[in-house]
Amino acid sequence: MDTSKKNLVLVVDDVEQNVAVVSQILRSHGYAVMAAFNGETALRMLEKRVPDLILLDIMMPVMDGFEVCAKIKENDNLKNIPVIFLSALSDTEVKVKAFNTGGVDYVSKPFQEAEVIARVAVHIKIANLEREQRDFIEKLTVMNDEKDRLMQIVSHDLRSPLGGIKGLSEILQNGAEAEMPELVREFSEIIVQTSDTLLNLVNDLLDLAKIESGKQRLNIDDFDIVSVLQNAVRLQEKVAISKGLQLVFQHSLPQVPFVITGDEPKITQVINNLLSNAIKFTPKGGSVDLSLSSLSDTQICIVVKDTGIGIPSEHLPKVFEKFGNHQRSGTSGEKGTGLGMTIVKTFVELHNGTIVVESEQGVGTRFTIVLPVHAEPKEE
């Protein structure tokens, strides 16, 4: 064993001969050793130097092995050191107490040299692996925190100017349309469309970052689902008309308004995303239908159906994956971020709901969502 990388073992026993024998065995197998003849001395030594493993006797004066182990496990700097009890006591009750106190193993005296060395080697290896895992998790946590900070910067430094560019372009379009030269009008439309695409990408990236870091949560409240769907149709209506599509909403609910419990902004985002997708992949003269029905006192069903180009059967299993349909362009060349369907599925499942897709090329696509009337956040 390389002396520069020797593992250090602390041997604690009130019998000097036992300490000498165990120390000799450990050194002969390449371990560095430090020794203490009582619990108090051992704890003082641990304040100055942390070993890779502790071999601890139980029956000692002043402070027995159980008390020593308990104090070690209470100390944040020492609690991860593996402790192997080495004792002449062989009662099952004693062994159980040793493990409950925090010991990782128990060797009865008299012991076999090979057994002690094997157990020491295994537990040092396990401890090293656990330490590497803790270090990795700590680094991962730091990286996630840095990613969150980056997403906050992206949110502020990209969304704000993009929103401003889009707003000014729309004012330019709407306010001076009659006097605006055709070329300027075309450029304004391109700016608006590009701003929309970039804003959607930024928003999707922010949502995805929250999802992947486990920080996406529901803000539960009561809201009228009919109003949410009507507003979504109004928002998408202009785009549908510009493509020559019929956009229809209908419901078969027993009463209106129909109040459900959930996260209204997330449900709104789900519906807008599905409608936008349907419009994108439906050619001129086609239709997009949004319907709402009650399945029972506890469930509602939302369906978005189009007469669009459909999804190839080999792509259907990947619809909800990140960038699953990123290469597909809409019927007018529209591009997506490749993240929308992943976010849709996640938001639905956060409500303990389900979403299913059915599609046939040249016929159309149908997304069916089933949601609880009173959503409770899905447990992580």
Q: 286: burial class by Cβ within 10 Å (0-12, 13-18, 19+)?
A: buried
**What gap in Å lies between CA 54 and CA 81, rounded to an integer?**
7
Phi, psi of 211 (to 5 degrees): -60, -50
**What gap in Å lies between CA 375 and CA 264, rounded to an integer?**
11
Q: Residue 51: is the preceding peptide bond cis (ω within 30°)? A: no
State what percent of residues in the chain have pLDDT above 90: 53
pLDDT digit string, tens, across residues 23-40: 999 999 999 999 999 999
Q: How high is the pLDDT of residue 1?
A: 44
With 0.85 as the threshold, say if the pTM is over it. Answer: no
**What gap in Å lies between CA 64 and CA 47, rounded to an integer?**
19
Average pLDDT of the chain?
84
pLDDT digit string, tens, across residues 74-124: 999 999 999 999 988 888 999 999 999 999 999 988 889 999 999 999 999
CATH superfamily ID and name for 3-111: Response regulator (3.40.50.2300)
Helix axes 340-350, 264-280, angle to 10 degrees: 140
SS3 351: coil
Q: What's the CATH architecture for 221-372?
A: 2-Layer Sandwich (3.30)
